[in-house]
C-alpha cells in the first residue's frame, strides 16, 4: 500500500508541475530538421501519432531524415468501438483482440500514407486502458497486470522486444529503453502529461523516465523531447473545423500560451495528414468530427522542461562505450523490426 501511495504522489507531482526548472527554450522546430534528424514518435494508441504529429513526420521524411513510430498499445480496449465493429453489446476477449488487430492494420495504412514504412513501426502490445495501472502495481512476474478486455497478461509473442516480458512497469520500461537505444533519436515526440486521457499522460511518464535513465548511462544521448495534446476539455472540436483553419491552444490549459511551439504545415502536408486520418476507419465511425479537427494548417507542441533546445548528432557508440547489457541486447524473435 505504501508503495502505491508513494508512486501515486510522485506521479501526481510530475503531472501537476511539469514546467518547473525549464532549460533553454526551443522557439521553432524547423531548424532541428535535416537529413540527420531521427524522429521517434511514441503513440499511446493507433491514431494519436497521426493526429498529433502527422505533419511533422512528413516534413522529417521530406528533409531526408528517419522516422520510427512506437505504439504503446493496440487500442484494443475501446468498448464502444468493439460494440460497433462486432454489433454486440457484450464483447468477448477474442472480439477485443480482433479489434486490436484491425487498429494495427489501420495504423500501418495510415503511416504508409505519411511515408513511414512498416519496418519503421513498432507495436509494444501493452494493455489499452491499463498503462496507469502498471505504474501503481508492484511488478511481480508471478502476478502481472491482466487486461480486463483481452484477458491477456503479456504482449503477444510477435510483438515482444525483449524475452519474458509481462504486463508490468519494469518490463514496459525495459522495452521503451531498448527501442530508444536501438534507434538513437535526435527528436522524441509523445503525448503530454496534461492530456486528460490516462494512457496518454502515463505514456509521457514512461518515455520521460526511459530518456532520463538512458541519459545517465549515455550522456551524449540527449534528444529534443516534445509533447502534444489530444484530449483536453472538448478541444479542438470547439474550434473552427475547416482544413485551412489553424489549430489554436486549448483554453484553460495549465501552460502559458507563449510556451506553445507552432509548426506550420504545407498544404500538401495537411492533405496527407487528412488522408492518413481517414485510414482509421474504425475510429472515424465514432469520432470523425473530433479527428478531422486535427487536420489543420499547423501542429502544436510543447518542449519538455528537461529537454535541450537543440539535439546533438545521432549517437554512435565507441568500442569502449557499453550497451544496455547482455540480456537486453538480444530482442525476442517477432515481427517488430529495428
In this prediction, residue 143 carries a pLDDT of: 85
Instruction: Report the C-alpha gap between 279 and 113 in whole angstroms.
Output: 9
Closest among 148, 106, 97, 144 to 125, alpha carbons compared: 97
Domains in the chain and their CATH numbers? 49-303 (3.40.50.10320)
Of 267 and 19, the structure prediction assigns the larger pLDDT to 267
What are the grid coordinates assigned to 232, written together? 483536453
Q: Is the pLDDT of residue 74 over 60?
A: yes
CA atoms within 13 A on the CB side of 286: 10
Instruction: Report the C-alpha gap between 60 and 54 in whole angstroms.
Output: 10
β-bridge partners, 123: 71
Instruction: Report the C-alpha gap between 182 and 332 in whole angstroms.
Output: 14
Phi, psi dihedrals of residue 32, rounded to the nearest 5°? -80, -15
The residue count of the chain comes to 338
Instruction: Report the C-alpha gap between 214 and 226 in whole angstroms.
Output: 17
- Using 50, 70 and 90 to split pLDDT, how confident is the model at 285? very high
Angle (CA) 315-300-274 rounded to 5° is 100
Q: Is the pLDDT of residue 225 over 80?
A: yes
Closest among 210, 187, 147, 181 to 331, alpha carbons compared: 181
Is-contact 122 179, C-beta < 8 A? yes
Phi-psi bin for 182: left (phi > 0), alpha (psi -120 to 50), beta? alpha
287-293 contact pairs (CB < 8 A, 24+): 289/237, 289/241, 290/237, 291/47, 291/51, 292/241, 292/243, 293/236, 293/237, 293/239, 293/241, 293/247
Instruction: Report the C-alpha gap between 106 and 104 in whole angstroms.
Output: 5
- Using 50, 70 and 90 to split pLDDT, how confident is the model at 85? confident
In this prediction, residue 310 carries a pLDDT of: 81
pTM over 0.85: yes
Amino acid at each position: 500500500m505504501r508503495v502505491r501511495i508513494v508512486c501515486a504522489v510522485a506521479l501526481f507531482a510530475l503531472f501537476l508541475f511539469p514546467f518547473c526548472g525549464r532549460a533553454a527554450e526551443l522557439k521553432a522546430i524547423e531548424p532541428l530538421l535535416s537529413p540527420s534528424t531521427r524522429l521517434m514518435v511514441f503513440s499511446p494508441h493507433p491514431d494519436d501519432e497521426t493526429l498529433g504529429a502527422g505533419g511533422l513526420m512528413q516534413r522529417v521524411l521530406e528533409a531526408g531524415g528517419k522516422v520510427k513510430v512506437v505504439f504503446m498499445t493496440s487500442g484494443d480496449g475501446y468498448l464502444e468501438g468493439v460494440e460497433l465493429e462486432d454489433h454486440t453489446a457484450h464483447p468477448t476477449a477474442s472480439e477485443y483482440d480482433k479489434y486490436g488487430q484491425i487498429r494495427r492494420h489501420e495504423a500501418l495504412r495510415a503511416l504508409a500514407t505519411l511515408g513511414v514504412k512498416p519496418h519503421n513501426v513498432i507495436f509494444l502490445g501493452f494493455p489499452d486502458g491499463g498503462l496507469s495501472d502498471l505504474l501503481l502495481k508492484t511488478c511481480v512476474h508471478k502476478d502481472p497486470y491482466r487486461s480486463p478486455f483481452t484477458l491477456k497478461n503479456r504482449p503477444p509473442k510477435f510483438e515482444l522486444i525483449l524475452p519474458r516480458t509481462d504486463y508490468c512497469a519494469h518490463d514496459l520500461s525495459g522495452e521503451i529503453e531498448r527501442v530508444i537505444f536501438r534507434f538513437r533519436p535526435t527528436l522524441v515526440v509523445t503525448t503530454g502529461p496534461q492530456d486528460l486521457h490516462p494512457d496518454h499522460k502515463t505514456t509521457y511518464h514512461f518515455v520521460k523516465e526511459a530518456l532520463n535513465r538512458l541519459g545517465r548511462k549515455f550522456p551524449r544521448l540527449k534528444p529534443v523531447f516534445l509533447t502534444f495534446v489530444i484530449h483536453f476539455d472538448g478541444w479542438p472540436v470547439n474550434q473552427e473545423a475547416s482544413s485551412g483553419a489553424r489549430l489554436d491552444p486549448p483554453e484553460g490549459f495549465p501552460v502559458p500560451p507563449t510556451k506553445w511551439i507552432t509548426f506550420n504545415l504545407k498544404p500538401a502536408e495537411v492533405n496527407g495528414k487528412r488522408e492518413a486520418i481517414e485510414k482509421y476507419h474504425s475510429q472515424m465511425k465514432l469520432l470523425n468530427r473530433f479527428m478531422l479537427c486535427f487536420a489543420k494548417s499547423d501542429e502544436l507542441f510543447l518542449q519538455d522542461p528537461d529537454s535541450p533546445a537543440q539535439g546533438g548528432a545521432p549517437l554512435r557508440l565507441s568500442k569502449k562505450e557499453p550497451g544496455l547489457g547482455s540480456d537486453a541486447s538480444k530482442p525476442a524473435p517477432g515481427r517488430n523490426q529495428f
